[in-house]
């Protein structure tokens, strides 16, 4: 696996050094008194993947769609117990968000996924495109040793087609069911519940796309992270949430927060107008996701000779 960052500007290289330091700081804090299964916990690799690894990142906050590529990072740990996000990674996530949004010590958002070495190698053995692309294009920001990841075993064209169709045929109806639940709640004036259902529809659409195209999706409810991964796959997804004004960016943030706050916070408020605007965006997301997935399935059908 590559280890060089020469294709990145010096400022981005320094930022990534700070990201790695933050990850290690918070990991040590969560495991320093570990006992039982977590004793001897280690980070084995920290890998930069996605657009910043490939060299095709977008950094144009003043463009029409306000799109800015994130740093996408895979953390590989020694034990599955260490992948628990709430137990081990919430503070690291909070620090990285704060560094970007408040302290301005980072000028690029950071998203990270955590998997055990076994999970990554299993993904490679089962031909999950996501892990194969990380293995091929990823750049190691840290390695505890020089052991290589498992050799990828791509799915046959027939296996890839069957998997994509299965994920799509399950994912889209599930997203539509959440959207119908949103409409019922909206009609009943249950705005907080409507916001939660709309979040679930959005999350499911992104999961559907990621699974259908890469055969992988992270166990994560953060739709901003899922959005970043999805937009890295197909530029047709750019601009769905608009984002040319503060209000539009705030609306997406309100939808993101609905997963927890719409259910548990008495202070969460969302208006009928805001829900109407967000629903139109989710419908557009559904249209684009359907198109991207059906195009991918058609490509796989051609490869399989169907």
10-143 and 157-304 in the same fold: no
- CA-nearest of 135, 40, 118 to 76 is 118
**18-64 per-position pLDDT tens digit:** 999 999 999 988 777 655 655 668 999 999 999 999 998 988 654 44
Terminal alpha carbon distance of the chain: 36
**192-211 per-position pLDDT tens digit:** 999 999 999 999 999 999 99
pLDDT at 148 over 80: yes
> Which class does domain 10-143 fall in?
alpha beta
129-143 mean pLDDT: 96
Q: What is the pLDDT of residue 208?
A: 98
Q: How far is C-alpha 6 from the chain's CA centre?
A: 25
Can you give the C-alpha Rg of the chain in angstroms? 20
Q: What is the pLDDT of residue 37?
A: 57
Name the residue ranges covered by the structural domains of the chain.
Answer: 10-143, 157-304
What fold does the segment set 157-304 form as a domain? 1.20.120
CA distance 40 to 144: 13
**223-234 per-position pLDDT tens digit:** 999 998 999 899
Classify residue 159 as exposed, middle or buried by CB count within 10 Å of its CB (0-12, 13-18, 19+): middle
Q: How many CB atoms lie within 10 A of CB 253?
A: 11
Tell me the whole-structure pTM to 2 decimals.
Answer: 0.88
Q: What is the pLDDT of residue 38?
A: 57
**77-134 per-position pLDDT tens digit:** 999 999 998 889 999 999 999 999 899 999 999 999 999 999 999 999 999 999 999 9
- CA-nearest of 213, 239, 253 to 68 is 239
**252-292 per-position pLDDT tens digit:** 999 999 999 999 999 999 999 999 999 999 999 999 999 99
CA distance 214 to 163: 10
Retrieve residue 100's tokens.
């970007």
CA distance 258 to 264: 9
Q: Could you tell me if 288 and 238 are in contact, meaning their C-beta atoms sit under 8 angstroms apart? A: no
Q: What is the per-residue burial (b if ≥16 Cβ within 10 Å, else e) of 95-119?
A: bbeebbeeeeebebbbbbbbbbbee
């Amino acid at each position: 696996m590559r280890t060089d960052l020469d294709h990145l500007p010096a400022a981005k290289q320094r930022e990534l050094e700070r990201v790695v330091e933050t990850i290690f700081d918070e990991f040590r804090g969560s495991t320093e008194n570990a006992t039982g299964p977590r004793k001897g916990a280690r980070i084995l690799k920290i890998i930069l993947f996605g657009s910043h690894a490939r060299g095709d990142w977008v950094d144009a906050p003043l463009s029409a769609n306000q799109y800015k590529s994130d740093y996408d990072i895979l953390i590989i740990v020694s034990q599955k117990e260490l992948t628990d996000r709430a137990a081990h990674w919430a503070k690291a996530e909070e620090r990285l968000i704060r560094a970007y949004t408040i302290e301005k010590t980072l000028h690029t958002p950071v998203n990270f996924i955590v998997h055990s070495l076994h999970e990554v190698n299993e993904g490679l053995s089962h031909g999950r495109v996501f892990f194969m692309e990380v293995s091929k294009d990823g750049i190691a920001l840290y390695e505890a040793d020089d052991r290589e990841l498992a050799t990828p075993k791509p799915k046959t064209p027939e296996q890839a087609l069957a998997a994509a169709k299965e994920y799509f045929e399950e994912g889209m109806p599930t997203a539509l069911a959440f959207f119908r639940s949103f409409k019922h709640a909206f009609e009943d004036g249950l705005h907080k519940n409507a916001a939660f259902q709309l979040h679930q529809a959005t999350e499911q659409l992104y999961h559907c796309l990621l699974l259908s195209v890469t055969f992988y999706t992270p166990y994560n409810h953060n739709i901003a992270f899922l959005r970043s991964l999805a937009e890295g796959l197909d530029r047709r997804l750019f601009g769905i949430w608009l984002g040319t004004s503060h209000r539009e960016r705030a609306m997406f943030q309100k939808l993101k927060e609905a997963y927890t706050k719409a259910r548990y916070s008495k202070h969460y408020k969302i208006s009928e107008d805001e829900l109407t605007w967000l629903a139109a965006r989710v419908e557009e997301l559904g249209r684009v996701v359907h198109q991207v997935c059906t195009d991918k399935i058609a490509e796989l059908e051609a490869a399989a000779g169907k």
